[in-house]
Amino acid sequence: MKELKYDVLIIGGGFAGASTAFHLAGKGLKVLLVDSKPWNRIGDKPCGDAVSKAHFDRLGMPYPKGEELENKISGIKLYSPDMKTVWTVNGEGFELNAPLYNQRILREAESKGVEIWDQTTAMKPLFENGFVKGAVLYNRRSNEEVAVYSKVLVDATGYSRSVRSKLPQELPIAEDLDEKDADIAYREVLLTRDDIEDHDYLRIFVTQKASPGGYWWYFPKGKNKVNVGLGIQGGMGYPSVHVFYQKYLDSYAPDVDKSRLLVKGGALVPTRRPLYTMVWNGIIAVGDSAYTVNPVHGGGKGSAMISGYCAAKTILNAFEKGDFSAQGLWDMNICYINEYGAKQASLDIFRRFLQKLSDDDINYGMNKKVLKEEDLLEASEKGDLHLSVAEKAMRIIAGLGRPSLLMKLKTVAEYMKNIKQLYYNYPRSPSGLQIWKTQVDRLISEFNMNIS
């Protein structure tokens, strides 16, 4: 078999892999990125395509332009199950043509020296003496099998986790996904019969009846085009997501013209805290493969870009030190936790609470403002659930009808704070990982018991 050597081998060219390549490009390393798909389909995965502008600003990523940008977003309207309460959360964002934007980022990386092979699949990792040393690739353009050796392999394979899942199961980075920690999501892109009202606002419909453990969304891609779909919690024995889609489409998207369907498809969305460690000897995981999705709204493109930024920074440091061991790459965990992972852990707790609420509770809670828009926004942006003293008193009066809901919310806020604290005390080296993981697992099972 042909053998090649690179400094960095990135498997997967979605948002996570492309951002890693973008931040590594032009920094003097020999980088190869491969993706199974042909060039014109890279980035084409089932998605709602909504990303907050804040992510682009914070990471210095170029804004989508021209055809890459389908619609500018001014905020989100959140509907209660009975549709009687609508919360408006303002904030700028983009409805992307995700493949076009994704491919542009790859082209920019390529123009600065990153080599990119499309139609090339990583078949298995090369694992020797406890280190990931590269991967065996199959290139369908040249019909060749190639062994590529790397100092650092980046698993950016999305929810398939198709590299790290083939490593020995006892390695911490091979950590699996509990079905209940994922949503099964499905979406279609359709044209509408009439102009969409307030087409610069995303709509989110919270409803346990029509999307248990998830929500329905209606994301305008322009005046007459919409991305509509839903997520339901995995591992619960619910009927298939398609059953819910067919049954409730008319309720949440009554204006779509079903004969003008442009795209359809579904996929899994991890809704948990990030991997306990995103690195091991010679390997870093990023994006969905590392469970970097926001547990409450299921958005993962922004955080995939964050993980790519942290991976590139870590890799450049590792090359300076000449250390590609788990210890040498450990900064990845610290960087990602500081930027987004601690918030994810806190929202993992919030998600568990939300998924157990009845539609009745949600109607009541949203209507009586037991929780308010600002609280939700703060929780979503920072992972903190703060209820100020005066407000709390007001809401206790308002919420007297459901004291148990308020009590639970207090418990939720407490656990959110505690888990975040635990994440900020992430071990400084791999030797501390097992004890820390036990503490996190204990806190989560204690919380599960507390709210059941």
- Site residues (vs ligand PGT, CB under 6 A): 48, 50, 52, 54-55, 58, 76, 89, 91, 93, 183, 185, 204, 206, 214-215, 217, 231, 269, 271, 294, 296-299, 302, 351, 354-355, 362, 365-366, 370-371, 376, 380-381
Q: Cα-flanking dihedrals φ and ψ of residue 357, to 5°?
A: -70, 150
The amino acid occupying position 343 is: K
Element (H, E) at 30: none
| Beta carbons within 10 angstroms of residue 384's beta carbon | 15
Residue 105 interacts with which of ligand FDA, ligand PGT, none, CB < 5 to 8 Å by class: none
Q: Give the residue carrying structure tokens 């990471």.
A: 59
Distance from C-alpha of 15 to C-alpha of 97, rounded to nearest angstrom: 12
Closest C-alpha among 278, 340, 342 to residue 311? 278
CB-wise, 146 or 371, nearer to ligand PGT?
371
- Residues 303, 170: Cα–Cα separation, whole Å: 27
Buried b (16+ CB within 10 A) or exposed e, 44-77: bbbbbbbbbbebbeebebeebeeebebbebebbe
User: With CB under 6 A, what is the number of residues at the site for ligand FDA?
Assistant: 42
Residue 286 CB, shortest distance to ligand FDA, in Å, is 7
Helix ranges restricted to H, 254-341: 301-321, 326-329, 331-336
Which of helix, strand or coil describes residue 316?
A: helix
SS3 58: helix
**Among positions 37, 164, 199, 420, the unique one binding ligand FDA when judged by CB under 6 A:** 37
Strand partners, 142: none
Judged by beta carbon, residue 329 or residue 366, the one nearer ligand PGT is: 366
In contact, 446 and 419? CB cutoff 8 Å:
no
Region of 1-9, 165-173, 263-271, 419-427 interacting with ligand FDA (CB under 6 A): 263-271
Q: How far is the CB of 155 from ligand FDA (least distance, A)?
A: 9
CA gap 284, 314 in Å, rounded: 9
By CB under 6 A, tell whether 214 contacts ligand FDA.
no
83 interacts with, out of ligand PGT, ligand FDA, none, CB within 5 to 8 A per kind: none
Report the distance separating Cα 316 and Cα 59, nearest Å.
17
The yes or no reply on residue 122 touching ligand FDA (CB under 6 A) is yes
Residue span binding ligand FDA (CB under 6 A) among the ranges 85-93, 104-112, 169-177, 266-274: 266-274
Picked from ligand PGT, ligand FDA, none, the partner binding residue 271 (CB below 5 to 8 A depending on kind) is: ligand PGT
Residue 267 is a binding residue for ligand FDA (CB under 6 A): yes
Task: Compose the 67-96 pattern: x for residues touching ligand FDA by CB under 6 A, - for all others.
Answer: ------------------------------
Q: Which of 114, 228, 256, 269 binds ligand FDA (CB under 6 A)?
A: 269
Selected from 125, 213, 274, 299, the binder of ligand FDA by CB under 6 A is 299
Establish if 42 lies at the interface with ligand FDA (CB under 6 A).
yes
Residue 405 touches ligand FDA, criterion: CB under 6 A: no
**Residue by residue, what is the 3-state secondary structure of 432-450?**
HHHHHHHHHHHHHHHHHHH
Among the residue ranges 69-77, 288-296, 330-338, 370-378, the one whose residues contact ligand FDA (CB under 6 A): 288-296
Burial class (CB in 10 A: 0-12, 13-18, 19+), 205: buried
Q: Using the minimum distance from each CB to ligand FDA, give the nearer residue, 78 or 412.
A: 78
- 300 in contact with ligand FDA (CB under 6 A): yes
Least Å distance between CB 360 and ligand FDA? 27
Residues near 80 by Cβ (< 8 Å), separated by ≥ 6?
86, 206, 362, 363, 366, 367
Q: Which is nearer to ligand FDA, 217 or 447 (CB)?
A: 217
Interface residues toward ligand FDA, by CB under 6 A: 11-17, 34-37, 42, 45-51, 121-122, 156-158, 160, 162, 185, 187, 229, 266-267, 269, 287-289, 293, 298-302, 304
